[in-house]
């Protein structure tokens, strides 16, 4: 084959997903949208939780939607919950409402829940949050990277750190948070990093040399920004999962919550929002949409499942479907070569040394370019 042909083929691939892969991805998205309720008919709602008094959990983005339900239900099961949110006032108001209802129900002691500030649009804020948390020298059992954004139909916007906002909120900031909290996660004998991902990652395509979508090879759309950020999240976690030795006891999971009625649709035109909310049979309530998060955070089989993936030398982290079943992420998400490149690029963008994980596992201090 001539070198010209090779270049042409590569360019085509770098331009994005082929039509066939894209249509296959779309069929997965539609299947989730229209058949999720049938597929999850075996699940109870609310998801039954055992007593969780032994767990400390951080839930990011817990002021609305899936995150708020997740935080409330974990706290009602006895866990110590930290709501990591950018709008701390909204967080405090929610806690007040939940405490009032909880004490009126006479079910037990007040909920053990608190608020800490975390704005994922600022990597400085992520470092500040992690430093404050690690300074407690307490074990962290579950980190739920739930916060996310989908500015549907919006123009391309950048954070003050210079990164495309979907990329930063949905991938870079949670990646930095997961790594910086490793010392606290290691302190718990068994812990979990749970990433609320999306079936829409099937429509994503990541060019590791253009994570920020500025090279102009592909025109920006909010769907492209969102789907690519969710795909990058799976790829990054594939490598994180491999890098964490079994002895750390840390499980890494990505999951799909399903298609859920939340504030995620707030940027849609009114008419489409009305159509969306007129589909209650198909769309989950937040209580239904948080089941795969609660399952991933608490089910006893998760550590064994992750261990099995590791000992079988599988190179992808666990992926849990909206109906709480282990499943495979998209074919593109399982591309090991691209996953490694996404890892390296991500580490560079979040300002950490390439051997940050190894250093943190050894108990060494790691300098981040942010938060100084």
Binding site for ligand NAP (CB under 6 A): 61, 63-67, 85-87, 118-121, 146-150, 169, 196, 198, 257, 259-260, 262-264
Of 197, 202, 150, the closest CA to residue 23 belongs to 202
The residue annotated as part of the active site, out of 163, 202, 226, 284, is 226
Q: Work out how close the CB of 314 gets to ligand NAP at its nearest, in angstroms, rounded to a whole number.
A: 24
49/151 with CB nearer ligand NAP:
151
188/324 with CB nearer ligand NAP:
324
Q: To the nearest 10°, the Cα dihedral for 172, 174, 176, 182?
A: -160
Q: Work out how close the CB of 226 gets to ligand NAP at its nearest, in angstroms, rounded to a whole number.
A: 7
Of 122, 129, 156, the closest CA to residue 351 belongs to 122
50/269 with CB nearer ligand NAP:
269
173/361 with CB nearer ligand NAP:
173
Q: Work out how close the CB of 259 gets to ligand NAP at its nearest, in angstroms, rounded to a whole number.
A: 5
50/280 with CB nearer ligand NAP:
280
How many angstroms separate the most distant Cα atoms in the chain?
76
Q: Work out how close the CB of 327 gets to ligand NAP at its nearest, in angstroms, rounded to a whole number.
A: 14
d(CA 230, CA 206): 10
Token pair 């795909």 in the structure block, residue = 231
Contact 25, 330 (CB under 8 A): yes
The H-assigned helical ranges of the chain are 3-14, 19-39, 65-76, 88-105, 123-134, 165-167, 173-180, 182-187, 222-243, 270-277, 286-289, 291-298, 301-311, 336-349, 356-361
Q: Work out how close the CB of 65 gets to ligand NAP at its nearest, in angstroms, rounded to a whole number.
A: 2
CA 118 to chain centroid, in Å, comes to 15
How many CA atoms does the CB half-sphere of 198 hold within 13 Å?
A: 28
CB-based contacts of 37: which residues, under 8 Å, 6+ apart? 281, 282, 284
**9-15: Cβ within 8 A, 24+ apart:** 14/207, 14/217, 15/217, 15/218
Q: Work out how close the CB of 118 gets to ligand NAP at its nearest, in angstroms, rounded to a whole number.
A: 6
**Is 284 tagged catalytic?**
no
Q: What would the 3-class secondary structure string for 237-269 be?
A: HHHHHHHCCHHHCEEEEEECCCCECCHHHCCCC
56/60 with CB nearer ligand NAP:
60
d(CA 34, CA 37): 8
Of 118, 145, 359, the closest CA to residue 252 belongs to 145
Contact 141, 212 (CB under 8 A): no
Q: Work out how close the CB of 154 gets to ligand NAP at its nearest, in angstroms, rounded to a whole number.
A: 13
**Tokens read off for 261:** 């009625």
93/331 with CB nearer ligand NAP:
93
Catalytic residue annotation: 226
């Amino acid at each position: 084959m001539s070198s010209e042909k090779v270049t042409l083929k590569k360019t085509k691939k770098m331009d994005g997903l082929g039509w066939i892969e894209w249509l296959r991805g779309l069929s997965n998205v539609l299947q989730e949208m229209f058949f999720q309720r049938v597929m999850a008919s075996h699940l109870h709602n609310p998801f039954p939780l055992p007593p969780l008094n032994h767990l400390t959990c951080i839930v990011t983005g817990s002021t609305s939607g899936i995150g708020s339900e997740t935080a409330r239900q974990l706290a009602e099961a006895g866990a110590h919950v930290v709501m990591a949110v950018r709008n701390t006032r909204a967080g405090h108001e929610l806690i007040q409402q939940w405490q009032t209802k909880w004490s009126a129900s006479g079910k037990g002691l007040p909920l053990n829940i608190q608020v800490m500030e975390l704005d994922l649009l600022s990597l400085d804020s992520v470092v500040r949050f992690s430093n404050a948390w690690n300074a407690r020298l307490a074990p962290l059992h579950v980190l739920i990277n739930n916060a996310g954004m989908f500015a549907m139909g919006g123009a391309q916007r950048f954070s003050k750190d210079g990164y495309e906002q979907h990329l930063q909120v949905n991938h870079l900031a949670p990646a930095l948070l997961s790594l910086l909290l490793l010392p606290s996660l290691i302190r718990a004998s068994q812990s979990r990093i749970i990433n609320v991902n999306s079936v829409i990652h099937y429509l994503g395509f990541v060019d590791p040399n253009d994570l920020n979508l500025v090279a102009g090879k592909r025109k920006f759309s909010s769907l492209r920004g969102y789907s690519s950020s969710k795909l990058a999240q799976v790829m990054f976690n594939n490598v994180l999962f491999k890098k964490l030795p079994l002895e750390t006891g840390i499980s890494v999971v990505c999951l799909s919550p399903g298609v859920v009625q939340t504030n995620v649709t707030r940027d849609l035109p009114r008419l489409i929002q009305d159509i969306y909310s007129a589909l209650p049979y198909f769309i989950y309530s937040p209580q239904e949409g948080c089941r795969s998060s609660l399952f991933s955070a608490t089910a006893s089989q998760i550590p064994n499942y992750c261990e099995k993936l590791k000992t079988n030398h599988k190179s992808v982290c666990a992926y849990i479907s909206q109906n709480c079943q282990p499943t495979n992420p998209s074919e593109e998400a399982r591309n090991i070569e691209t996953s490694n490149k996404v890892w390296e690029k991500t580490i560079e963008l979040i300002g950490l040394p390439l051997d940050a994980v190894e250093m943190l596992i050894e108990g060494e201090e790691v300098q981040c370019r942010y938060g100084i």
